[in-house]
Amino acid sequence: MGDEIARLVTLAFGATVVLITILLIWNLWGTSAPSRHKFGLGFLWGTNWDPNANDFGALPFVYGTVMTSIMALVISVPLGVGAAIFLAELAPPGLSSGCTFLVELLAAVPSVIYGMLAIFTVVPLMREYIEPALKGAFGYLPQFQGPMLGVGYLTAAVVLAIMTFPYIIAISREALLEVPRDQREAALALGATRWETTFKVVVPYARLGILGSIFLGLARALGETMAITMVIGNDSTLHASWFAPGYTIAAVLANEFAEATGKVYTSALVELGLVLFLVTIVINALARLLVLATTRKGTAKVV
């Protein structure tokens, strides 16, 4: 009797996460109704964002979000997986656990602190050195033309890359550690070098987990708000140049939500939130399944 009560009571508390998630979807869907009815699906590819004219299109934000996240992953995946390989395969145990601890601390640094540091370090660095260098080397491409302001897509991507490292490293490392010892020993016994063993045997064995870590990093990057808001320049027109200021979904929410007036304006912002929510939840769901498939113990430890 007492046990049954305990089971039901704890179940009720456990079920709150399901309830909250359902309520969250229902709420976003309901609150975004005016915008959904007015603009329909065209909202997603409308390029104009004009609160004064009550005309709203999401494309500049969707483009900014997707662009910065993909550019960030292009930077952070090779570096992150490389570091994970070093920590899981090569480093002596003491060094490995020490570095892993530091990487976990990196994940604990609040996003607003990344943003503040980026304003005062990464932005001037991009403006003075990196963007001119890129312009000199690839200036014939439209992506590397235009004024170099320091704030913009590329800077946001660099900051995002730094912020996604810890997730990619931590989860890739766990996936690599799950690879059975005999796999390595067999390859080494056949005469493979350390690198060949790692690259041709261990990494392919752990590929689902590594892919999962990339997806988790992607989900983090898509939803990252503060640091991006502080360095992307906040410009809701579309630019081909990577140096140009842009906008992301999360950044426009951070900047405009508190001051939004009128039903359509607010609901358009909520609809942006709904889009962001759906995209991140699908990517997260995929990532968790991939990680589950390799490690089979879930991601309780993952930050």
Partner 1 sequence: MNRLTYRKIVNNVMLTLTGLCTLFTVSILFLILGYLVYNGGKSLDWAFFTRLPLPPGEDGGGMANAIVGSAEMVGLAALIGLPIGFMGGIYLAEFSGKIMGFAIRYTADLLNGVPSIVIGIFAWALVVVPLHSFSGLAGAVALGIMLIPISMRTTEQFLSTVPNALREGALALGAPKWKVLATVVVPAAMKGVLTGMILGIARVAGETAPLLFTALNNQFWPRGVNQPTASLPVMIYTHAISPYDDWHRQAWAAGLVLLAMVLVTNIAARWILSRGISVQKG
Under the phi-then-psi rule, with left for phi > 0, alpha for psi from -120 to 50, and beta for the rest, what region is 248? beta
Residue 235 binding partner 1, by CB under 8 A: no
Q: How far is the CB of 141 from partner 1 (least distance, A)?
A: 27
d(CA 149, CA 161): 20
Is there binding between residue 7 and partner 1 (CB under 8 A)?
A: yes
**CA distances from residue 181 to 82, 83, 188, 213 in whole angstroms, order as listed:** 20, 20, 11, 22
**Residue placing its CB nearer to partner 1 in the complex, 49 or 114:** 114
| Residue 13 in the binding site for partner 1 (CB under 8 A) | yes
Q: Does 196 bind partner 1 (CB under 8 A)?
A: yes
Does residue 165 touch partner 1 according to CB under 8 A? yes
Q: Which is nearer to partner 1, 17 or 41 (CB)?
A: 17
- Residues in 105-164 at the binding interface with partner 1, rule: CB under 8 A: 105-106, 108-117, 119-121, 162
Between residue 79 and residue 108, which ones bind partner 1 under the rule CB under 8 A?
A: 79-80, 82-83, 85-87, 89-91, 99, 101-106, 108
Q: Residue 243 pairs with which residues in a beta bridge?
A: none
CB of 250 to partner 1, least distance (A): 5
Task: Closer to partner 1 by CB, 241 or 267: give it.
Answer: 267
Q: Which is nearer to partner 1, 67 or 99 (CB)?
A: 99
